[in-house]
Chains A and B, each alone.
Chain A
Amino acid sequence: MTPNEIHQLKVTACKVRIGAIEGVHAAKAGHPGGSLSAADLFTYLYFKEMNVDPADPQKATRDRFVLSKGHCAPGLYAALAHRGFFPVEDLLTLRKIGSYLQGHPNMNMTPGVDMSTGSLGQGISAACGMALAAKHQGNPCRVYTLLGDGEIQEGQVWEAMMFAAHYKLDNLCIVIDNNGLQIDGNIADVMSPYPIPEKLAAFGFEVAEIDGHSFEEMEAAFAKARATKGKPFAIVMKTTKGKGVSYMENNAGWHGKAPNDAEYEIAMTELKAQLAELEGK
């Protein structure tokens, strides 16, 4: 990527963060912490990595993305909106009655959403089914899925990992958002899933460890994923939960809580300042 491309991704990621916070604030409910930790990944996937076309969201050969940690829908929706799948202003309808932006992703209601998720541990299995089907059909698409680091406490995740390696799903790339926090606190205190990369390698994955807020490191890892044959690929990305909003950063309390009006103003001031700085205003 050129410095200009990276700069553009940073600008977009900031807008994705703003969209996620606006949606959660308008809904008075939702999950800001994980949406912000994964905002850079959503941005990279939809603006750089994935072959998708907002004008043809059901195109058979498109790359698929499954948000296995479905509660981070506000971040995904913001990325989809900015990518052109639906109007950005609709982000304010999040979680409202009649909205196509459900609390957790619904593949039949929201353009660009490839799988309905929300119950943790199931999205990665669906992604495996997509990758297997794509190979069976001779479809050149790739399948991506994002899991939470708390989510991998679900046993089904490891069933899916065995499946992915057993069927050599090298068109599958899983990403684990290692922000270190879950609802009840530090993942190491609640139920430690560590060491994550070693476990993934033992389950048959090729593994890359990156800074989940570095587009340069994402570019290298996803390039390696595409070049890896005969086995599935996993990216373990170290992130900051709540990234971009000072009082939300590294605070488990912001896993699933909406900011009140005063908190919202602070968040918007901070994020807009970051955007202004990026845009040189």
Chain B
Amino acid sequence: MAEIKKIATREGYGQALTELCREHDDIIVFDADLAGSTKSGSIRKEFPERHFNCGIAEGNMMAVAAGAASMGLVPFASSFAMFAAGRAYEQIRNSIGYPELNVKICASHGGISVGEDGASHQCCEDFALMRSIPGMVVMCPSDNEEAKAAVKAAYAYKGPVYIRLGRLAVPVFHEEGFDFQIGKGDVMQDGTDVAIIATGLMVNEAVEAGKMLEKDGIHARIINMCTIKPLDEELVLKAAQECGRIITCEEHSVVGGLGEAVCSLLSEKCPVPVRRIGVNDVFGHSGPAGDLLKQFGLCAENIVNVTKDFLEK
């Protein structure tokens, strides 16, 4: 097998946005002094008249994007997850969410894999914040190809969308042009001993964990849940009914993210034991991204350990 390519999901955002701009005149792009990092800057070269830097003023940027959307344009607004979902939460809630405006918020540098910049920039709360807004679609692509697909699906969808993208280069395992649908999870590996539902860069870790567990005779169902809201309830309930135990994996706080979304659903419709792998209600800190992910248990090895422990009990 050829060597696996590693690309950050933010790269896919820049590529897909450029392709979308070539096809559609109604796209307008906003950034807040981070266009080089979020990759919205790729638009500046080919479509300079459609890229507007808002300076370091994320709250204003979100409401500006809302106003542009009210005129019939499709604005893509980017910053780091911390400053998009975090600083501009209330502008997103009141000026984009409440009026149901067609703004696509594409936030890079989500999670602790931001690395060396440390806790101030490691947003592990964005799913929780964005999930809480009625009508907001929340996605976290697992690789470059899924990021491209999610960005294109976001354009085709009418309404507010939040996409969390990563800084860290991660393995690309989706084929180019694969079938992607907002709100639909994807079974990466079948099994009935336990279901592991992962999002973002944790999907690859879950797939690797699944292979390791298989060697030990544990048949795990691995589910890629790119869309955190609306949750693919049918797929989660089916997994709960057929596997009886669920593990969730996300590069996000265990408070308010995928794990809680899954628990909320299961507690009402199919109560089964759940383990949540995520950032355990603590702040991150500086360090190389790969080391941090291991330290915080956001890796295949920890998924294997948690799974074995879970199945013994």
Interface set of A (CB-CB < 8 Å, partner B): 60, 64, 66, 106-108, 114-116, 118-119, 121-123, 125-134, 136-137, 139, 155-156, 159-160, 162-163, 166-167
B residues near A118, Cβ cutoff 8 Å:
94
Residue contact A125 to B59, C-beta cutoff 8 Å: yes
A residues near B64, Cβ cutoff 8 Å:
125-126, 128-129, 132, 160, 163
28 CB contacts below 8 A, A to B, read: A60-B72, A106-B99, A108-B99, A115-B99, A119-B95, A121-B59, A122-B63, A122-B91, A122-B94, A122-B95, A123-B63, A125-B62, A125-B64, A126-B67, A126-B95, A128-B64, A129-B70, A129-B75, A132-B52, A132-B64, A133-B67, A133-B71, A134-B71, A137-B72, A156-B57, A156-B63, A162-B55, A162-B57
- Least distance between A183 CB and chain B CB atoms (Å): 19
Residue contact A116 to B72, C-beta cutoff 8 Å: no
| Pair count A-B, CB < 8 A | 111
Main secondary structure of the interface of B (DSSP, over half): helix
Q: Which residue of A lies closest to B59 (CB)?
A: A156
Task: Kindly state whether residue B73 has any CB partner on chain A within 8 Å.
Answer: yes
Residue contact B57 to A130, C-beta cutoff 8 Å: no
User: When the two chains form the complex, which single residue of B60, B91, B98, B99 contacts A163, counting CB atoms closer than 8 Å?
Assistant: B60
Residue contact A163 to B73, C-beta cutoff 8 Å: no
Chain A proximity mask over B38-78: 1 for CB below 8 Å, otherwise 0: 00000000000110101101011111111111111101000
- Least distance between A228 CB and chain B CB atoms (Å): 20
Q: Which residue of B lies closest to A137 (CB)?
A: B71
Task: Kindly state whether residue B260 has any CB partner on chain A within 8 Å.
Answer: no
Q: Which residue of A lies closest to B94 (CB)?
A: A119
Residue contact B60 to A116, C-beta cutoff 8 Å: no
A residues near B193, Cβ cutoff 8 Å:
none
Task: Kindly state whether residue B208 has any CB partner on chain A within 8 Å.
Answer: no
- Least distance between A130 CB and chain B CB atoms (Å): 4
B residues near A127, Cβ cutoff 8 Å:
67
| Interface residue tally on B, bucketed by range | 20 to 34
B residues near A160, Cβ cutoff 8 Å:
60, 63-64
Residue contact A126 to B71, C-beta cutoff 8 Å: no
How distant is the Cα of A217 from the Cα of B99 in the complex, in angstroms? 35
How distant is the Cα of A162 from the Cα of B73 in the complex, in angstroms? 22
Given A60-B72, A116-B94, A107 and B99 contact (CB-CB distance below 8 Å): yes
A residues near B68, Cβ cutoff 8 Å:
129-130, 132-133, 136
A residues near B49, Cβ cutoff 8 Å:
136
Q: Which residue of A lies closest to B54 (CB)?
A: A163
Interface set of B (CB-CB < 8 Å, partner A): 28, 49-50, 52, 54-55, 57, 59-73, 75, 90-91, 94-95, 98-100
Given contacts A115-B67, A129-B75, A156-B60, 4 further A-B contacts (CB under 8 A): A126-B63, A129-B69, A132-B68, A156-B91
Residue contact B70 to A159, C-beta cutoff 8 Å: no
How distant is the Cα of A121 from the Cα of B69 in the complex, in angstroms? 18
How distant is the Cα of A131 from the Cα of B64 in the complex, in angstroms? 9
- Least distance between B169 CB and chain A CB atoms (Å): 33
Q: Which residue of A lies closest to B98 (CB)?
A: A116
User: When the two chains form the complex, which single residue of B57, B73, B91 contacts A137, counting CB atoms closer than 8 Å?
Assistant: B73
How distant is the Cα of A159 from the Cα of B59 in the complex, in angstroms? 8
B residues near A130, Cβ cutoff 8 Å:
67-68, 70-71
A residues near B94, Cβ cutoff 8 Å:
116, 118-119, 122
Most buried by B among A64, A115, A134, A159: A159
Residue contact B67 to A128, C-beta cutoff 8 Å: yes
Q: Which residue of B lies closest to A116 (CB)?
A: B99
Residue contact B60 to A159, C-beta cutoff 8 Å: yes
- Least distance between A171 CB and chain B CB atoms (Å): 12
B residues near A134, Cβ cutoff 8 Å:
71
A residues near B59, Cβ cutoff 8 Å:
121-122, 125, 155-156, 159
- Least distance between A154 CB and chain B CB atoms (Å): 9
How distant is the Cα of A139 from the Cα of B64 in the complex, in angstroms? 17
B residues near A128, Cβ cutoff 8 Å:
60, 63-64, 67
B residues near A159, Cβ cutoff 8 Å:
54-55, 57, 59-60
Q: Which residue of A lies closest to B91 (CB)?
A: A122
How distant is the Cα of A134 from the Cα of B67 in the complex, in angstroms? 10
